[in-house]
Amino acid sequence: MYICPLCRQPLQLTGRQYGCASRHSFDLAKEGYVNLLPVQQKNSKDPGDNKLMIEARRAFLQSAAYQPLSDAVNKLVLQANPAKILDLGCGEGYYSGRLQQALSPAAGLCGIDISKAAIKYAARHYPDIRFAVASAYQLPFADNSFDSVIRIYAPSDNPELQRVLKPQGRLISVNPGPNHLVEMKQAVYREVKLHSDVIKEEPGLVHTQRQQLSYRLAITEPQQLDNLLQMVPLAWKFSSESRQAFVAATQSISIDFLLDVYQLSEATAISPPTV
């Protein structure tokens, strides 16, 4: 289902190389992923999360701190029994890997991220999932490829979402709720501005469901909280001293997620090609 990121023609895998009719080619890495992010689509030399950020996120997620979110996402995905799913901005593959375990063997799961380091890690640890380095703004997939798209804290392009979703396909989007990590904000801001809980409009998609997931996360060890800080933009607001003090003093933190489900409207669905 891959298409060439340069000319948008279908890609075919021959041996360990994807190629299109225009003779653009992309090698399959030894880990099993393909890099479909050409230089023209990069906003920096090495876009996305770096190795240190990936290691911190991986250690935090492996502590099961966000397992309730993973379980909630999996439940929403399984409601529609999808055959093809895309994890948009999949990072190092934590949510993809847990979802793969919950899906039926016949279901197909793909993951993309602009971080080569993250995709390399994901492909090595989850060989049954098809991973690619790619841009969410120029998705390397054919029209009508997916029954469901998962978007957890990831940027995206609405027309591209509409294009790759099948008719009646669903977008499952996760964003921070009002009180998410509010203690971090309180540590660095005099006046704390909470995250909005307004349902975001997605042109061409109809909002069908919302779930709020809130809980207190008990910090089992200081390193767990330090890893969480490494994952969020607020980390830059802390000095070295204030960060150490916050990590040492904080025993629990507020977790608050908003999970929204959208469905592709009939008026905007792209008609599948005739066979």
5 located within any domain: no
> Which of helix, strand or coil describes residue 81?
coil
Q: Into how many domains does the chain fold?
A: 1
Whether the Cβ atoms of residue 146 and residue 122 lie closer than 8 Å to each other:
no
Question: Which residue range forms the structural domain that includes residue 158?
Answer: 32-178+191-216+257-264
Report the distance separating Cα 272 and Cα 262, nearest Å. 20
227 located within any domain: no
186 located within any domain: no
128 located within any domain: yes
Note the pLDDT of residue 1.
85
275 located within any domain: no
Task: Report the half-sphere exposure of 50 (CA within 13 A, side-chain side).
Answer: 5
Q: What is the pLDDT along the chain (275 residues), one digit of tens a residue?
A: 899 999 999 999 999 999 999 999 999 999 999 999 987 676 666 666 788 889 999 999 999 999 999 999 999 999 999 999 999 999 999 999 999 999 999 999 999 999 999 999 999 999 999 999 999 999 999 999 999 999 999 999 999 999 999 999 999 999 999 999 999 999 999 999 999 999 999 999 999 999 999 999 999 999 999 999 999 888 889 999 999 999 999 999 999 999 999 999 887 776 655 44
Note the pLDDT of residue 275.
40
4 located within any domain: no
CATH number, position 172:
3.40.50.150
99 located within any domain: yes
118 located within any domain: yes
Looking at residue 40, the DSSP 8-state letter turns out to be: G
Which residues fall within 8 angstroms of residue 198, CB to CB, at 6 or more apart?
Answer: none
